[in-house]
Every structure is written in structure tokens, then in C-alpha cells.
Amino acid sequence: MVLFKILPDWFIPENEATPESVFMNRRRFVQKLGLASIGAVTLISGCTSGTERKEAVQQNLKQANLQPISATRNPRFSLDRPLTEEYVAATYNNFYEFSGGKEVWRYVDGWQTSPWTVEISGLVAKPQKIAIEDLIRKMPIEERLYRHRCVETWAMAVPWIGFPMKALIDLVEPKPQAKFVKMTTFFRPKEVPRQDLQSYPWPYTEGLTMAEAMNELTLLVVGIYGHELPKQHGAPIRLVVPWKYGFKSIKSIDRIEFTDTQPATFWNTLVSNEYDFQANVNPNVPHPRWSQSTEHMLGTGERRRTLIYNGYEQYVASLYKNASG
Ligand SMILES: Nc1nc2c(c(=O)[nH]1)N[C@H]1C(S)=C(S)[C@@H](COP(=O)(O)O)O[C@H]1N2
Ligand SMILES: [Mo]
């Protein structure tokens, strides 16, 4: 109990986890509080040193044999902060299919992401089932530096590789009745045991309005740091909507459906008063259990003020002009 009082406030929201920042800053943190001899800190942080961990992760990324993707960086999307180090971003993930904590990279090895097809259906003129390689070949691939803000208050800045969702929409030609896009993560409870847990509404689903889906920021992502996505980031294809809390950016998508009604979404179904459908980053609207006014960067622990729409106001504010929230 005492321990929680001395932990930084952002520790609390990330209740199930071993926050990377605690880990990375363990020495500094321990020194500052004079807690080096208290076993509980080690218990929370794990017991390998930062360097050992970095090496283990880099080895793991190498073994994943991720193929390079050549993509030109789009200079329109620049950052106000340094990029997060690759090994940090790859070891602090939310992917509830594999873990309720952040060490997802330790559990994904046995899960196969190839072959992979994406089924696009619903209110479209050209429904199709398309192999991921064929989809990538047809789409305008580029690199973009984006901020990412998790509802739990951690943030990162990473170079994604992907294509605008608008390009996929043009490919399938939605009918005028289409009002929402529903995306669904793979569902393989035999291979991925957590998908057998009855307490969660598997498979993970997310959704956007058509206007949000067509916004130029909305990216379908197939790579990061110059190569294919490691599994823990949602291989082989995931959504990235950087003005919304991270849970909207659904991973490992195998179904995209155009609908006339708002789809049910994973976190909203689980805890509707904490995770809404819109989920736009907003420093002025606290989560029921914690403030959203600041965030901390993975790896460095740097604390920053949360930006309205995560700093993407100029791109998206017009979408919500007439809304109250
Ligand atoms: N299928 C699926 N997608 C998911 C999640 C998940 O648990 N399952 N977690 C979400 C949350 S809460 C966040 S913050 C981001 C994290 O993306 P990253 O691990 O690549 O940083 O993925 C989102 N997409
Ligand atoms: Mo998140």
C-alpha cells in the first residue's frame, strides 16, 4: 500500500502493467527515493538491467526477420518531440489478445501472421477479399511521424509506414448509405488463449464515422521504423488515428465493413462510461479515474501537457464543429 503512495501518479492508471518508464528510470527513481533496498520495487520493475533488456529486445526484433519497406517520408507530418526509441516502442504495448500487461513481445512468437487476407464488405460497390501483399501493392505507401497517446496517459512518437484509409475507400467504393467503418481484429481462440476468456467481447472491434475514416490523418499501417510491423504492434496491418486515444487504433485487422449504424466497439462494450466511441484526445475531459491534462513519454519519462486532439486540431477540428463533446 505504501508503495502506491510513493509511485508517480501515472503509475496508477496502468494498473496491470510494468510501466516502461518506471523500468527505464528505475535507478534514478530508486536513488531519489532511497528505496534501493526495498524488494517491492524490484518486484514491480522486473530484475534485468536496462542494458540487458535492450539487448534481449533487439535480438528478438532481429529474429523476427522483419522485411524492410521502402517508403518516402511525408514531410507534412513533423513532430514537436524526439522519436521514441524503437526498442522502447516495441516492448511497451497494449494488445489484450496476448497480455493484460505491456510485455506483449514475449508472447507473440508462436502466432502466425502469414498468410493474411483482409475482407472488405458491407455497403460497398466492390466488396473483396484481398491478400495483404496485393493490398499493399495497390496502395500509396508512405512514412509519417505521428504522436500516439494512450488513454492511460503514456505517449510515444514513431515513424509509421502505411497508406491513407481514403485510398482503400476509393478502391471499394462505398454506397451513399454507408455511415461508419467497422474494423475487426483476427479471432483465433485456439492459437491465442486469451481470446478464450469469456470476460472480454472478442474479437476486438473498432469503428469510425465515414468522415473520420476519410480524414487525411487516418492511416492503415503496415510498417514502423523502416520495416514490417513486429507482431506486438499489430502485424500485418493496423489502424492509426493519432488524434484519438490509442485504443481506437485497432491492431491486426482482418475485416473491414461499411455499415449504416454505429458499430459496437471493444472497450466501449466493456466499460462504456470510461471509453466512448469518439475518444478524441482532450486534456480538459478527465478519465473517470485519472486526469488527462498531462502525459509521459515512453522511455524518457518526460512529462508534457496533453494537446487538444493530440496536436492535430488543424486537421480534425472541423469534423466536430457541431458536436458538444
Ligand atoms: N486488437 C487490439 N488492438 C489494439 C489494442 C488491443 O488490445 N487489441 N490496444 C489498443 C491500445 S489501448 C493502444 S494504446 C494501442 C497500442 O499500440 P502499440 O502497442 O503499437 O503502441 O493499440 C490499440 N489497438
Ligand atoms: Mo491505449
Regions of the chain short of the pLDDT cut 50: 1-46, 325
Q: Which residues of 147-163 are buried (b: 16+ CB within 10 A; e: fewer)?
A: bbbbbbbbbbbbbbbbb
Instruction: Confirm or reject CATH 3.40.50.2300 for domain 14-320, answering yes or no.
Output: no
Ion ligand 2: residues, CB within 5 A, are: 94, 150, 246-247
Q: Domain ranges for the chain, please list them.
A: 14-320
pTM comes to 0.87
Q: Which residues line ligand 1 (CB under 6 A)?
A: 93-97, 148, 150, 185, 204, 233-234, 246-247, 249-252
41-54 per-position pLDDT tens digit: 333 344 567 788 88
pLDDT of 24 reads: 35
94-121 per-position pLDDT tens digit: 999 999 999 999 999 999 999 999 999 9
Own/partner long-range contacts of 135-139 (Cβ < 8 Å, ≥24 apart): 135/168, 135/237, 136/163, 136/222, 138/171, 139/163, 139/167, 139/168, 139/220
Query: ∠ CA 121-191-69 to the nearest 5 degrees?
Result: 60
pLDDT of 37 reads: 38
Q: How far apart are the CA of 176 and the centre of ligand 2, in A? A: 32
pLDDT of 33 reads: 41
pLDDT of 75 reads: 97
pLDDT of 139 reads: 98
